Amino acid sequence: MAVKLVNESKISNMLFNAMKTKIMVAGRQNTRVNLQIDGEQIERVEQFKFLVSMKTVSADCTTEIRRRICLAKVKAVKLDTIWRSRHIKKALKVRLMKSFVYSVFLYRAESWTIKTRDRDGRNRLEMWCWRRLLGVSWREHRTNESILDKMGLMKSVARLKLQYFGHVVRGSAGKLSLTILEGALDGTRHQGAPRMSWIHNVLKWSGKTYEELKVLEQDR
């Protein structure tokens, strides 16, 4: 298919740059791929950036989540003079934090599969941001839970995923998205515990079955 794409592009005078073109093969098996453009070998990569988000061979979201945490921290540091200012009310600081910092982290969060280690990383980001903004010292002995419950970054992630789930089951996101969500693959799965999936997060956070959620969303 890739070779056909290159040949068809030449007919339309659209040329591929072999140095800038990369390929990524997703799957459990280590499939060997030998793709060349005008005799030049195309580099195979394990991950690449696509539309401002990182895609990996394993389709794991941990790399992208960690990257988003770093980007959010960089943004928070750039606005450090605002957090330290005594002339800006805390209510306004909170709004600025959610608008300029959290929005960086939450970009495309509705597509993530949140694992335990990802949740811990997100909690550390939230604690880092809010303790910096609110000026909460570690000597005040305030628990992380008391601050997390007040601010609720996890609630934002859950809300985005549940909203996107509603779009998918109502057909607003297209038939392909619903087919991927409800479809099944033939054959038997590999040994070991099943991997955490996107829908597992939705079912766990909502406390309902898939059928119950689908009925609720379609009744809207």
User: For 126, what's the count of Cα atoms within 13 Å in the CB-facing half-sphere?
Assistant: 22
What is the mean predicted confidence (pLDDT) over 170-174?
A: 76
Q: What percent of the chain has pLDDT over 70?
A: 83
202, pLDDT greater than 80? yes
Measured distance CA(156)–CA(72) in Å, rounded: 15
| Cα dist from 75 to 69, 81, 103, 154, whole Å | 10, 12, 10, 19
Single-letter amino acid, residue 8: E
Of 161, 79, 125, whose CA–CA distance to 169 is shortest?
A: 161
Please give the Cα distance from 161 to 198 (Å, whole number): 9
Residue 189 carries which DSSP code? P
Residue predicted with more confidence, 192 or 144: 192
Q: How confident is the model at residue 1 (pLDDT cuts 50, 70, 90)?
A: low
Structure tokens at 43: 């580099």
At 151 the pLDDT is 59
User: Residue 45: pLDDT band by 50, 70, 90 thresholds?
Assistant: confident
Report d(CA 123, CA 144) in Å as an integer: 9
Nearest Cα to Cα of residue 118 among 156, 68, 162: 68
Q: Which residues contact 128 (CB under 8 A, 6 or more apart)?
A: 73, 76
Q: Reply yes or no on whether the pLDDT at 147 is more than 70.
A: no
